[in-house]
Structure 1
Amino acid sequence: MFFYLLRHGQTDWNIQKKVQGRTDIPLNGAGIRQAEKMAEAMDGIPLCGIWASTLVRAAETAEILQKRREKRGEEIRLVLLPELKEVAFGDWEGKTLKEVEKLFPEDYHRWTENPAFQTPTGGEKREELTKRAADAVEKMVKSLKDSGKAGKKDAAAIVAHGGILVYVIAYLLRKETERREIIVENASITKVEYDPETGTGRLVFMNDISHLSQDERTPWKADLRKKEGE
């Protein structure tokens, strides 16, 4: 089967380079348009379900995808899954990365060197995130199996956040020997082929934003792309 992993559209805090984490920030106007373009890019893909984070920016993005499908005469279920919430960034939330660096220099510099192994000050630990991502995938797989929709050609969408999607993708690809950098930008699409019987995943493509024009893309600084906490 196939999982399409979609990151939510832009928020005001994305533009301001603030760490969002669990803070429940809605999409802005540009983010809504990004989500609409992403939903349009998914038109030719049959989906048997949509799972999304309960945080509003991801839920809004998923609802845009669901409503577009319904307008096309498709019936598709949207399930909000708490396990898909963004990484909890603790004391860093609501602050810009420059503010984080000033207030928590040691934690920040260890994190910039290796975000996967350094917990943000007061935030969620790597072990907790790994388990949460695994629990989310297994819940979705069980639901698809129970409904008979976990076959080789079946597909489902996961709509969530830049931080937790890194862990979800890593879990889907856990049996791969290659270790890659995982970056997902606003309104991006990543596709993974996954065998639920063996737990084997194959990355088909990652971080596709070709459906967005240059002006519609959230501006990023290359040296901070994977460190946004969004």
Structure 2
Amino acid sequence: MRLYMVRHGETDWNKAKKVQGRADIPLNAYGRELAEKTAEGLRGIPFDLAYTSPLSRAKETAQIVLQGRKTPLIEEPRIQEICFGDYEGIVYRGEGLDPQSAEFVKFFDDTANYVPKGDGESVGQLMERVDGFLKALYQNPELQDKIILLSTHGAAVTAMKNCMKNEWSPAKFWQMGVPKNCAVTIVEVEGGIPKIIEEDKLYY
């Protein structure tokens, strides 16, 4: 099994440094351009199937990458972005900072001490969610020889990479930094054991 895990293209909220999470923000023109360049870079990869987060920014990224193909695209809620609860929509960097931003930025800068707000998820809950999806994938006998696209989000794909590395400590969650929009991580899975071949590859 080979996995190509891609973070979605840019949105206006990415650009404005607004917390997205489950807020369903579409790609902007530049985000679609990044997805098109990524599609070109992946043109020679014969995807057998694809899973996407149900959020439109990930779904549209997958649709652009798969344009002109008949690859089945399956919505998978377990790879949608972490829920940030009451933090969603606030500006957390740059101009127009929200008063709550000091607490929120712990998610990036001091992850071990990040506390979810409202109905938000913890980093541990996110890790368990994506790990459940990955284990089901690894154990599916029908998928062992398949090439699979996963279209997802910054924190969700980071959680998946950490699960693959068996790195469960929130303090080390962002040790590789935040993946850029449309960054692609390529993973080989053999006998249920994942091995990251390339991490955060850009095609633009």
TM-score (normalizing by structure 2) = 0.85
2:90·2:101 contact (CA, 8 Å) conserved in 1? no
Q: Residue 202 in 1 paired to residue 195 in 2? A: yes
Q: Residue 131 in 1 paired to residue 142 in 2? A: no
2:100 to 94, 99, 103: 103
CA pair 115-35 structure 1, distance change in 2 beyond 3 A: same
CA pair 183-113 structure 1, distance change in 2 beyond 3 A: closer
Q: Per-residue deviation at 1:135?
A: 1.8
1:119·1:126 contact (CA, 8 Å) conserved in 2? no
Counterpart of 1:193, as a letter, is: E
Counterpart of 1:77, as a letter, is: P
1:3·1:155 contact (CA, 8 Å) conserved in 2? yes
1:9·1:32 contact (CA, 8 Å) conserved in 2? yes
Q: Per-residue deviation at 1:66?
A: 2.1
Q: Residue 87 in 1 paired to residue 73 in 2? A: no
Trace 1:145-160 onto structure 2 (pairs within 5 A): 145=141, 147=142, 149-151=143-145, 154-160=146-152
Q: Map Cα deviations across residues 77-136 of structure 1 (whole Å, 9 max, x no partner).
A: 11010111111111211011046662253x346434332552333321122111110122
Q: Map Cα deviations across residues 8-34 of structure 1 (whole Å, 9 max, x no partner).
A: 111111111111100000111111111
Counterpart of 1:184, as a letter, is: P
Q: Map Cα deviations across residues 162-213 of structure 1 (whole Å, 9 max, x no partner).
A: 01111111122328xxx75253110111112222x3x42222111111x21x
Unaligned runs of 5+ in 2: none
CA distance in 2, matches of 1:21, 1:62: 18
2:6 maps to which residue? 6
Unaligned runs of 5+ in 1: 213-230
1:171 to 163, 170, 175: 163
CA pair 203-116 structure 1, distance change in 2 beyond 3 A: farther
Q: Map Cα deviations across residues 21-75 of structure 1 (whole Å, 9 max, x no partner).
A: 000001111111111111111112222111100000001111112223x2xxxx3
Corresponding residue SS for 1:186: coil
CA pair 26-62 structure 1, distance change in 2 beyond 3 A: same
TM-score (normalizing by structure 1) = 0.76
1:84·1:136 contact (CA, 8 Å) conserved in 2? yes
Cα RMSD of the aligned pairs, angstroms, is 2.3
2:186 maps to which residue? 191
2:92·2:105 contact (CA, 8 Å) conserved in 1? no
Q: What is the aligned-residue identity percentage?
A: 30
2:53·2:59 contact (CA, 8 Å) conserved in 1? yes
